[in-house]
Amino acid sequence: MTDQELIDALQGADAIEFGEFELSHGGTSEYYVDKYRFETDPHCLSTIAAAFAERIDDEKLAGVALGAVPLVAATSVETGTPYAIVRKEKKEYGTGNRIEGELADGERVVVLEDIATTGKSALSAVRALREAGATVDRVLVVVDREEGARETLAEENVELASLVTASALLDDT
């Protein structure tokens, strides 16, 4: 899968918008990558799943709720690899789990995420998985906004790999 195929799929899903946008971490941006547009477009979602599949080793998959659930589910179907879902916080009802899905002690897990900006959401998932006994040293994202996530994760010995960077995506629009 080439970077251009991924960029074309994201553009085809109208996932890149320009204007003034507030981001989840409180900052602002002149562009916005709309994860809901690329995650709800079947062609784009399957393209992303195929690209993630090329980068998966012998690891279990994990996705951060809610945004990465379509990504991890599609990648699981593409690879036949089981997955877990990491909630932002523990449920207050039912089982009370923060992590849904089976996870063996010491199991190697790769976290899939939609967009990385600061890396705080991915890092929270990594920490939860590690506390549950998993070995996590890699996060794969669709788009790295190149705003500190790589460095934040590196401080915890976690590699950030992206399918495409914001620079490459914006250079092509």
Q: Answer whether 63's CB lies under 8 Å from 88's CB.
A: no
pTM above 0.85, yes or no: yes
Report domain extents, the chain: 3-171
Class of domain 3-171: alpha beta
pLDDT given for residue 173 in this prediction: 65
pLDDT given for residue 1 in this prediction: 81
Size of the chain in residues: 173
Q: Answer whether 126's CB lies under 8 Å from 68's CB.
A: no
Q: Answer whether 41's CB lies under 8 Å from 12's CB.
A: yes
What is the pLDDT tens value at each position of the chain, 173 positions in all? Answer: 888 999 999 999 999 999 898 887 777 889 999 999 999 999 999 999 999 999 999 899 999 998 899 999 999 999 999 999 999 887 677 777 899 999 999 999 999 999 999 999 999 999 999 999 999 999 999 999 999 999 999 999 999 999 999 999 998 76
Q: Answer whether 12's CB lies under 8 Å from 44's CB.
A: yes
Q: Which of 73, 58, 56 is nearest to 163 (CA)?
A: 56
Q: Answer whether 134's CB lies under 8 Å from 107's CB.
A: yes
Q: Which residue has the tokens 């900006």?
A: 117
Task: Indicate the pairing of strand 16-22 with strand 28-33.
Answer: antiparallel
Task: Report the distance separating Cα 152 and Cα 150, nearest Å.
Answer: 6
CA 47 vs. chain centroid, Å, equals 14
In 3-state terms the chain splits into helix, strand, coil percentages (rounded to 5) of 40, 30, 35
